[in-house]
Structure 1
Amino acid sequence: MEYESNSSTWDGVYYYPHLFGGIMLTAALLGLSTSYFGGIMGFPTLPYMLPYLRNLQKKKGGKKRIRVYMDGCFDLMHYGHANALRQAKALGDELVVGLVSDEEIVTNKGPPVLSMEERLALVSGLKWVDEVIANAPYAITEDFMNRLFNEHKIDYIIHGDDPCLLPDGSDAYALAKKVGRYKQIKRTEGVSSTDIVGRILASMDDKEVCQVPKESSQNGEPAEMNKNAENLLKSKHASNFLPTSRRIVQFSNAKGPGPNARVVYIDGAFDLFHAGHVEILKSARQLGDFLLVGIYTDQIVSEQRGAHFPLMHLHERSLGVLACRYVDEVIIGAPWEITKDMITTFNISLVVHGTVSESKSSLNGELDPYSVPKSMGIFRMIESPKNITTTSVAQRIKANHEIYEKRNAKKEASEKKFYEERKYISGD
């Protein structure tokens, strides 16, 4: 970093000033040169002592670890949040996340969808997060900034390149910028909490539109109307996310299971990644050495839950799961039925399923998708730690749709302005 010296020699002087000063003071008082110490007393001359100082420094712990801080509401967690925290972690060695309190969110943005407990589980479950400060303020005041620097040993405060303004129109990070302790990352385009709320609100009308009976009349019009309604739904609310192999690699652990690893497999939609997902993945991971997660295709999710689902498409959902610290690998577009060939290919030792699920017991009359692992004696039901589901989260928004519609209208205007004025910032 900028304020660090490139000279390990002077680092040694910095960490042990008393030792270095004592040597120099002794030499000055006696009027002796460093050659005298070397020639008469067998004491190493000063240039040769510097390596010893460097070794002392290394023994103390080496180079100072850089601690960075990033705050946010992190309501309706998505891959954009995860990528922001990934970028923030790359700017230091340890990432501390400030989680804005429910009260501060209400004051500055309106009611949050998720509680502090749920948001805490989500943020703590991300692989790049080292520490979390709960109930952080929305605005970084001078007092709180000093707490970050002095108590939490923060070196830099991080935020995205999108503006974060307080109700009075001022920059929420002005103080950090003023003291030169601010760093900026690139916003992940194609998703936002505002966008996701919009998808959920829109699905209220879409669900009604898509309730056209699937039975065909003599001329086939009702069935055709239903197909058109579903196609309209998919085109109207399609995600703007453009997945790349590089992004997937950035989220991946980039390593497979060892030859003798106990591989645990769990599958699902994992739509609108929430605290319930984090907790069930944690429970599954504790049953083995390597957790493999199957992410259902969009088609399977739609057939299971209706045309208005999934709220997030396959690649969005896959990145959300990959960001979880308990997950080792994902199958992007996992099949509905677990076959013997699949179990052999991935060397699966145990297949698990939670007690809380939104999926139907069968799909289009097919048999139990877990019949094969059950017959092999490697299937286990595990208790879901939380009752929260994607549908229950969506219902919170629908129950207060007027409030969220007003909030979204305001946010959508500011986001539109951001995208119109944005400039590319290299590196993400």
Structure 2
Amino acid sequence: MSGEHSGETVRVWVDGCYDLFHFGHANAIRQARGLFAGPVAVVAGVCSDASIAANKGPTATPEAERYAAVAACRWVDEVAEDAPYETQLAAIDSYRCAWCVHGDDITTMADGSDCYSEAKAAGRYKQFKRTQGVSTTELVGRILKMSDVQGPPVSSVSTFVATASRIAQFSSAREPAPSDRIVYVHGQFDLFHIGHIEFLKAARSRGDFLVVGIHDDATTNHIMGSTFPVMNLHERVLSVLQCRYVDDVIIGAPYKISDHVLTKAYKVDVVCHLRDAPSPLDVNGLDPYQIPKERGIFQEIDAPNSTMTTQTIISRILGQRQVYEARNARKLQKGVIEQELLKKESIRERK
């Protein structure tokens, strides 16, 4: 196929719904890029709300938010909006892509047919291992388990196993230059969304190297209340690391920004906080930004979509609980059919 061995850039099509865009989606895009030697350009095809509703059910994040979330992934070169749910060679060709790439799980249309049959028949399909332990359906299921009372974090039901190698794969692997202006922000970053992305983009614009502190589950539960977080610490770390505006993270960062945070990992030049966003006092009743303020390095910043929160997404789902419960039930039933198709396809390949 053109470009695969010639040294030219190989253009690769990776499509999907990308609803509640999470680290599993980002890892799929990362793996797609890694299937090819030499320069690669990844085109992420993102399906519309209407096509997803017709084949899968309602989305928790509307298409405009999904387009923006995918575009912010560090491994995406171009976003193809309103991509067809059933992958078509015409769409792939219109973006000059030589290959279509997808995970090793089968995705089907509403009628049970394979979404990738056309690309497979043309010999232009490759696949990678799907990231285990996370899916949009699984995250919606966690949200449906949430209650309005304080309790153990919903994230405790996660089956995702974090490894050092996975975190290294997601890292930017970039060290700051001596002259770089280093910016620090911190937060929970649960159900990573467009509000988080715009905040990180705005913070990154204040310097040359952005470090993000991510609070552990117990701290997040204390700050956000109820049964937060939905995603555990390492899931949230990967969700933040995949963002193109982030250079590094501090895992389990303290809620009250300490001298160690400001001087030991990196010499921080500016600490940013979203204007008008709440910043509850810590367990000792102290301002978490006290030290940066005393040192004159604290800045309040503005960002688009600043009213978007994790609770916004949760309210969308819990506000239509019956719709999403039915959606998840259909998805699980569809998953059984897709697994049977996968077994049959595996048997055919062995013959």
Q: Is TM (by shorter chain) over 0.5?
A: yes
For the Cα contact (< 8 Å) 1:296–1:334, is it kept in 2?
Answer: yes
The aligned counterpart of 1:190 is 133
Structure 2: distance between partners of 1:68 and 1:175: 16
TM alignment of 1:47-66, pairs within 5 A: 63-66=7-10
Picking from 22, 41, 45, the partner of 1:98 is 45
Task: Give CA deviations for 1:308-357 in whole Å, capped at 9, x if unaligned.
Answer: 10000000000000000000000010001112232122100000011253
Picking from 273, 284, 294, the partner of 1:353 is 273
Structure 2: distance between partners of 1:288 and 1:307: 35
For the Cα contact (< 8 Å) 2:42–2:77, is it kept in 1?
Answer: yes
Tell me the SS of whatever aligns to 1:133.
Answer: strand
The aligned counterpart of 1:22 is none
The aligned counterpart of 1:117 is 64
Structure 2: distance between partners of 1:105 and 1:298: 32
Structure 2: distance between partners of 1:284 and 1:297: 21
Question: Displacement of 1:4 after TM fit?
Answer: 6.8
The aligned counterpart of 1:325 is 244
The letter for the 1-side match of 2:123 is: G
Tell me the SS of whatever aligns to 2:206.
Answer: coil
The letter for the 1-side match of 2:18 is: F
The letter for the 1-side match of 2:188 is: A
TM alignment of 1:18-417, pairs within 5 A: 63-92=7-36, 93-141=40-88, 145-149=89-93, 151-203=94-146, 206-208=147-149, 210=150, 230-231=151-152, 237-345=156-264, 346-355=266-275, 357=277, 359-386=278-305, 387-415=307-335
Question: Displacement of 1:418 after TM fit?
Answer: 6.7
For the Cα contact (< 8 Å) 1:165–1:172, is it kept in 2?
Answer: yes
Structure 2: runs of 5 or more not aligned: 347-351
Structure number with greater CO (CA < 8 Å, separation at least 6) is 2
The letter for the 1-side match of 2:319 is: A
Higher helix share: 1
Structure 1: distance between partners of 2:242 and 2:4: 35
Question: Displacement of 1:261 after TM fit?
Answer: 1.1
Structure 2: distance between partners of 1:255 and 1:243: 21
Aligned length: 339
Question: Displacement of 1:148 after TM fit?
Answer: 2.1
Task: Give CA deviations for 1:75-105 in whole Å, capped at 9, x if unaligned.
Answer: 1011100100111122340000111011111
Tell me the SS of whatever aligns to 2:273.
Answer: strand
Computed over aligned residues only, the root mean square deviation of the Cα atoms, in angstroms, reads 2.2
Structure 2: distance between partners of 1:283 and 1:408: 35
Structure 2: distance between partners of 1:323 and 1:376: 31
For the Cα contact (< 8 Å) 1:271–1:312, is it kept in 2?
Answer: yes
TM-score by length of 2: 0.91
Question: Displacement of 1:416 after TM fit?
Answer: 6.2
Aligned identity (percent) is 45
TM-score by length of 1: 0.75
Q: Cα distance 1:132–1:383, how it changes in 2: closer, same or farther (>3 A)? A: same
The letter for the 2-side match of 1:401 is: R
The aligned counterpart of 2:349 is none
Structure 1: distance between partners of 2:87 and 2:29: 18
For the Cα contact (< 8 Å) 2:107–2:338, is it kept in 1?
Answer: no
For the Cα contact (< 8 Å) 2:45–2:81, is it kept in 1?
Answer: yes
Structure 2: distance between partners of 1:199 and 1:4: 43
Task: Give CA deviations for 1:372-418 in whole Å, capped at 9, x if unaligned.
Answer: 11011100010131111000110000111110000111223444677
Tell me the SS of whatever aligns to 2:252.
Answer: strand
Structure 2: distance between partners of 1:420 and 1:256: 47
For the Cα contact (< 8 Å) 1:356–1:384, is it kept in 2?
Answer: no
For the Cα contact (< 8 Å) 1:303–1:363, is it kept in 2?
Answer: no
Structure 1: runs of 5 or more not aligned: 7-61, 211-229
Tell me the SS of whatever aligns to 2:315.
Answer: helix
Question: Displacement of 1:297 after TM fit?
Answer: 0.8
Q: Cα distance 1:421–1:304, how it changes in 2: closer, same or farther (>3 A)? A: farther
